Amino acid sequence: MKIVILETPEHVAQYGAELISKQLASKPASVLGLATGSTPVALYNELIARCRTSEVSFSQATTFNLDEYLGLDAQHPQSYRYFMDKHLFNQVNIDPANTYVPNGTSADPIAECEAYELKLEKAGGVDLQLLGLGHNGHIGFNEPTSSLGSRTRIKTLTPETIKANQRFFSEGEFQPTLAITMGIGTIMESKQVVLLATGAAKSDAVVEMIEGPIAARCPASILQLHPKVTVILDRAASQGLENSCFYELTEARNQELLHHRQSRSQSR
Ligand code: GLP
């Protein structure tokens, strides 16, 4: 795991946007795995700004979102399809036909999960998967004790997750307790993973993910087995890490090497 600790959530968004920009520059027809939640919004804003100045282009990209609430249609303001249209797709040059989010109102949700996996396979799999982190260590909607080999399926949300996401729903409004989510096995097949976590409320989950054992009680800990993961944290989210000095030293060295390589290639 490459651990990057930055001062603020804005720095986290910039760093993450740079990784996605690089991915799209090196492979314009990339398949991106995308996430919802409040954490990636600043990163999406940065990508929108870069798209407006033609620094990045989504014209050939395809996207697959991690999850969707069961029971909310695309027009529902709390659906993840609505969220993605609003926060990214409607503001960049992506072909809407190339944006996939599980259908939360499918007449046959089990078939929808199987079809989602097939579509992903047909697209060639995810090149870069963006992830947030639940307070309980979930990724997508893979709650603690989810099978570490799971595929796209319907999951029951924990009371903790329902409570954490309550802030998006108005009082008395129907809040789903089930969701369709890519599985942990599905996520692990991505060629590259970029996980963002900001704020002190995520610090316990961050410790378990990075320095704890690989265990289904913290689904994100499975990322320790992935060969290409970048975890980008702000200072507050990193506060519980035992080895944060080592991660910062390593990242500083990586940056030095990068600058060295860049200045050598420029002087040639
Ligand atoms: C939801 C989403 C996750 C997201 C998590 C954290 O449960 N299904 O993909 O990572 O929330 O959200 P936030 O970034 O708002 O803390």
The C-alpha angle with vertex 12 and arms to 10 and 13, in degrees rounded to 5, equals: 65
pLDDT of 238 reads 98
What average pLDDT score do residues 114-118 get? Answer: 98
pLDDT of 179 reads 98
User: Number of structural domains, the chain?
Assistant: 1
**Which DSSP symbol is given to 6?**
E
Distance CA 263, CA 255 (A): 12
Task: Give me ligand 1 centre to Cα 38, in Å.
Answer: 7
Distance CA 122, CA 134 (A): 29
What average pLDDT score do residues 167-173 get? Answer: 91
Residue 268 above 80 pLDDT? no
Residue 262 above 90 pLDDT? no
Nearest residue (CA) to ligand 1, atom 6: 134
How many Cα atoms are found within 13 Å in the side-chain-facing hemisphere of 128? 23
pLDDT digits 0-9 by tens, 78-111: 999 999 999 999 999 999 999 999 999 999 999 9
pLDDT, the chain, mean? 97
Point out the ligand 1 atom lying closest to the alpha carbon of residue 36: 9
Residue 266 above 90 pLDDT? no
pLDDT of 85 reads 98
Range of the domain at 133: 2-267
Nearest residue (CA) to ligand 1, atom 13: 37
CATH, residue 202: 3.40.50.1360
Is 67 within 8 Å of 100 (Cβ atoms)?
no
Q: How far apart are the first and last CA of the chain?
A: 32
* pLDDT band of 265, cuts 50, 70, 90: confident
